[in-house]
Structure 1
Amino acid sequence: MPPSVSTESAPDWSERTNNTTADQASGGRRESRPLPLRTIALGAIGSVLLLIGSFGAGGTLVHDPVLGTGPLSVLRYGHGRDVAVTVVYLGFALLVWAWVRLGRGVLAHLVTSRGVLWATVAWLAPMLVAPPLFTRDVYSYLGQGLLALHGLDPYGVGPSALTGPIPENVHPTWQTTPAPYGPLFMSVAKGVILLAGHDIIASVVVMRLVLLGGLVMLICALPGLVRHLGGRLPVALWLVAASPMTVVHLVGGPHNDMLMIGLLSVGTLLVLEGRHVSGIALASAAMAIKATAGLALPFLVWIWASRLTGPLWRRFLRAVFPAVGIFAVVFGACTLLAKVGFGWLSALSAPGMIVNYLSAPTAVGQAVHSLVSLFGETNIWPFVGTTRTLGSFLLVAILVWNWWRAREGGPEAVRRAAIVLCFGAFLSPVLLPWYTTWGLALGAAFAWTPRALSYVVGASIALVLAYYPDGEQAMYNWPFVAVGIGAAVLGALSLVRYDPLGLSEAFGRLSRTPLAARR
């Protein structure tokens, strides 16, 4: 049994986190428990430091009306920017520390869902008005909405087709790249521009608030998902709502993945509860935000089919035909509303322009290229292209195998959908840190062991630190990578060990040593 989180008595963590307790029976709500105020305050301080540092170290504007002139402009250059970067990392460290402390309390049944939700609100609030953190993708979203608003095809041209403060802030990599997002998101992006006008700061804040609706949907869906899938609500909320991945990337970014997983989680819950038409419709809307959600749709069909009568294939056909019809209606309506075509399908490969070793197929291609390059200079793209193609074949095989194993429907179908979404992230041509939230949004509602949760903690820390606060990748700065891996291991161990470095014991021995002996 892993050590307990405190010197006081704690539950046996060797049991799974969905033990039959009063906490589970009440859906994780035990209002008599006090709030973990110190932990919430610690994370809030970290989040405020992230906000302060982001004004100099985040995805700041090329021509900033706030920081471009005046005393705050010192944060953007030279030593001032170095200080801002330091403040961001200090804030992130405090946020992670608070998240781990909160997780210990959740695992020990000392923190309820209410405590996790209050922590989430306190930690997210400063991010709502922060410049983009660890990415510049939101400027691409706004640029694509601006293109559509001007009658240009965002699936045919990039933001550089226009001029102004929004296009000029799009990352150079995506200036000429068509949008790889679905038609519903194009409508969302247009709506944001209509609401905020051409004020880029207001547009970022409005976009963040709109995308935050996805997190609200996910939080609202989790109690029902936990009820069906056997997890604990405080654990699920801690995993996907209070996580630094959510605070820093999904909200601090912000990223449209947040809206996609919100729609998908509500759609999945509706299907589990027998409301198949509305559930498939919402899951289809999620795919109209980002195509990745389509990986889960075949599994929802099995849940529908499992409630019908007759032989397996007859039940499947009676479910799949209406499901396809619902998908066609929803997707067609989204396409007509956005006044765009199907060019986004060809633009799905756009993220593949990025080459980094977080993606398993890309990492293999890079490794093979490095070995071959020992015998002579070669182009990397044939190697990376080949391994990415093999990775796509492997993903299809994993999808088909899991889909067939999910044919009985029920929670098993959702579990396998979550697995496929995880593989969809890691086997994609490029893995960006926030992609890992795809599968976790559904997987969080299942039962978790503390050891498995510690792996999530470590991965979350390492993935956030794979990029610099301004959105540029940091994973080829090897000393920095080593520090990030060390922080990830320490964070993972800290969830299941009260003091993994043994500092309490060391300081305790020091405090008991007579002063004369210390001299």
Structure 2
Amino acid sequence: MLSAIRLPDETRRCLVLGLAGATALAGGGLAAGALPVRDTLAPALGLSALRQHQGAGLVCAYFGLALLVAAWWRLGRAVRGGDPPSPRTLLLVLAAWAVPLVAMPPLFSRDVYSYLAQGAMVTAGLDVYQAGPSAMGGPLLAEVPVIWQHTPTPYGPAFLSLAAGVSGFSATDVPLGVFGMRAVALAGVVLLIACLPRLARSCGVDPAAALWLGALNPLVLLHLVSGAHNDAVMLGLLIAGLTAACANRFALAAVVITLASLVKAPAALGLVVVVWLWQRALHRSADPPAAILPASRPACAGSVSDRPALGRRTATLRAFGSTACLAAATTALVTAVTGTGYGWVRSLTTPISAHNWSLSSTVGRITRNLLEAAGSDLAASAIPAWRWIGLAAAAGATLLAWHHRRRLGLVYALGLSLAALALLGPALRPWYLLWGLVPIAAAAPPHGRVRRWTALACLALTVTVFPSGFTPSVDELAAALAGALLAVPILVLYAGDVAAPVRPYRGTEPTAW
């Protein structure tokens, strides 16, 4: 079939290499993935015996992961080269890489089972913001990791309504529920890839480069497609809202971004972009896409409104008030429809728990151990103190990014702010990097340092969690390393080609920095 599709040679090689990797990764996941405790599908398909070969599954999974990561990195060189693939071609590559992962059990996290349990609690009328899945019990409780069984959910009512719908449909059929939650996540990914090229054009960035970094990267495939994380829904709505704001549809943008924040709260930072663009439009009576570009980039030719321009203060107050009213109305309506109440506001502190790891928590644990060794009474306060220090640092980085918004551009400033929150906040997971990565992919300078470092961070974070979602043993680490080493001979064969020269983006908006 692939031979009937005309693709640049390098793109075709990347597609085939990544497809082979995704297939091997998905196959290994049948033995070493985040498998359900009560699996009704594997026995029906005669696959139950694979669970006894977890070591072989890890070898296969990491062999495939190495191929997939190498294919993505090499595709990035093709995107920057002399014969680049079009955005439509990149979407074909993304679909080919995603298909094997869609049909298999989840990988790298067991959060999808928590989503099902929380959805079942909503359906049963239990308060998910007061208690964890242990309050409900039942067969779904066995699928939730022990550390989260007593933890209230930090997710907003918009996502819980989706989880409740899937849980109500699948009842106690865990595989059916997993595929239902994956369908929800895939809807978010589809919305993201539909809007990301348009947002990139508004920011003066090559849509192909934005898709490569923001949609085809391994974190999206591993954690949004395979892991079915609700971050996919949040990011899809956030990017759709930003795209609407760039097209003068400010009311729609405020509503959609508020919905994104009612999935996961960090998306609320996107409302700042809406307020700023709306204020610029009212003050200057000009088409606002120019406002999202850095000051050093010439603005797009915008249509001038027939309305008289407002004063800056009046425009700011009107934009802020309109956005706040729309956000409040959307929040009230969604909360009333779902019937979950406003406990989600209180549960925003759930990530600040003893079970979460982050950069600040790691420093806090080291500090605690040193204080305990010194016999200090302050040892118990070390981790909380460092977590609040991390939040303060994230707030400072956010303020710094917005202070330089004229030089950076609004979407780029938003991406840097969300990245700082993910890296310095009280909880850190590999997929959290996507909060900032996707806006950065749409707005960062095409050949800038931040884009390169973000891509390298993606590579590093693909190996920080194991396919089962649990902490690996020494034997499992050895099996993973063996699988990656088995991929080396194949990758050497692909390494002999010389990369094509980097070409500039020739779109409608300039990309000079």
Q: State the Cα distance separating 1:319 from its structure 2 match.
A: 0.4
Query: How far has the Cα of 1:37 moved from its partner?
Result: 2.2
The alignment status of 1:63 with 2:61, answered yes or no, reads no
- CA-to-aligned-CA distance 1:155-198 (integer Å, 9 cap, x gap): 11211222333222011111111111001011111111233333
After TM superposition, the structure 1 stretch with the greater mean CA deviation from structure 2, 465-474 or 283-292, is 465-474
For residues 448 and 279 of structure 2, what CA distance do their matches in structure 1 show? 34
Query: Does the 8 Å CA contact 1:366/1:380 hold for their aligned counterparts?
Result: no
Which piece of structure 1 moves more, 140-149 or 98-107? 98-107
Q: Is the alpha carbon distance of 1:33 and 1:462 closer, same or farther for their aligned partners in structure 2, counting shifts above 3 Å?
A: closer
Query: In the alignment, residue 241 of structure 1 is paired with which amino acid?
Result: A
Q: What secondary structure does 1:151 align onto?
A: coil
State the alpha-carbon separation in 1 of the partners of residues 433 and 129 from structure 2: 25
Structure 2 residue corresponding to 1:184, chosen from 154, 158, 167: 158
Tell me, in whole angstroms, the C-alpha distance in 2 between the residues paired with 1:298 and 1:189.
Answer: 28
Please tell me whether the aligned partners of residues 33 and 105 of structure 2 are also in contact (alpha carbons under 8 angstroms).
Answer: yes
Native 8 Å contact 2:155 2:264 kept in 1:
yes
Q: Deviations over 1:68-124 (max 9, x none)?
A: 6996333223xx111011111111111111111211111114222222111100111
Aligned residue pairs, count: 456
Is residue 110–residue 145 contact of structure 2 (8 Å, CA) maintained in 1? Answer: yes
Pick from 268, 277, 282: which aligns with 1:294? 268
Residue 457 of structure 2, aligned match among 443, 456, 459? 459
Counterpart of 1:339? 339
Shift of 1:450: 6.9
Structure 1 91/32 Cα, relative in aligned 2: closer, same or farther at 3 Å?
closer
Q: In the aligned structure 2, how far is the partner of 1:282 from the partner of 1:348?
A: 20
Rounded to whole Å, the distance in 1 between the matches of 2:102 and 2:466 is 20
Partner of 1:439: 436
**Contact between 2:86 and 2:208, CA under 8 Å: does it hold in 1?**
yes
Asked if the contact 2:40/2:175 (under 8 Å) is kept, the reply is no
Whole-angstrom CA distance in 2 between matches of 1:384 and 1:479: 30
Deviations 1:457-494 (A, max 9, x none): 331122121111111245x979959x99xx9xx99xx9
- Structure 1 residue 322: deviation in Å? 0.8
**Given the alignment of the two structures, is residue 218 of structure 1 paired with residue 218 of structure 2, yes or no?**
no
Per the alignment, do residues 400 and 169 of structure 1 end up closer, same or farther by CA in structure 2, a change over 3 Å counting? Answer: same
Distance 1:480 1:314, change over 3 A: farther
Cα distance in 1 between the residues matched to 2:400 and 2:183: 38
What's the CA shift for 1:295? 2.0
Matches within 5 A, 1:243-254: 243-254=217-228
Matched, 1:160 2:159: no
- Tell me: CA distance 1:109–1:148, structure 2 relative to 1, closer, same or farther (3 Å): farther
For 2:342, the aligned partner's letter is F
Check conservation: 1:133, 1:249, Cα contact below 8 A.
yes
Q: Does 1:283 align with 2:282?
A: no
Question: In structure 2, what is the Cα distance between the partners aligned to 1:452 and 1:163?
Answer: 46
Partner of 2:468: 470
Residue 203 (structure 1) shift: 0.9
**Match for residue 206 of structure 1 among 180, 195, 213:** 180
- Range with greater deviation from structure 2 (325-334 or 360-369): 360-369
Aligned partner of 2:388 in structure 1 is 389
Query: Which residue number corresponds to residue 430 of structure 1?
Result: 427
Q: How does 1:96-495 map to 2 (within 5 A)?
A: 96-110=69-83, 111-309=85-283, 310-353=310-353, 359-376=358-375, 381-406=380-405, 412-446=409-443, 447-449=445-447, 452-473=450-471
> Using the alignment, how far apart are the partners of 2:337 and 2:219 within structure 1?
32
Percent of pairs with identical residues: 34
Per-residue deviation, residues 367-389 of structure 1 (Å, max 9, x unmatched): 32344344358886421100111
Distance in 1 (alpha carbons) for counterparts of 2:469 and 2:25? 14
Aligned pairs for 1:86-105 (under 5 A) are 86-105=59-78
Task: Give me the whole-angstrom Cα distance separating, in 2, the residues matched to 1:59 and 1:35.
Answer: 34
For residue 26 of structure 2, what is the amino acid of its counterpart? L
* TM-score normalised by L of structure 2: 0.82
Return closer, same or farther for 1:221/1:146 CA change in 2, 3 Å cut-off: same
Bigger relative CO (Cα 8 Å, ≥ 6 apart): 2
Aligned 8 A contact 1:51 1:127 in 2:
yes
Could you tell me which residue of structure 2 aligns to residue 43 of structure 1?
18
Note the residue ranges of structure 2 that are not aligned, 5 or more in a row: 1-5, 284-309, 499-513
**Residues 269-307 of structure 1: CA deviation (Å, up to 9, x unaligned):** 111111100011100010011101012212321111011
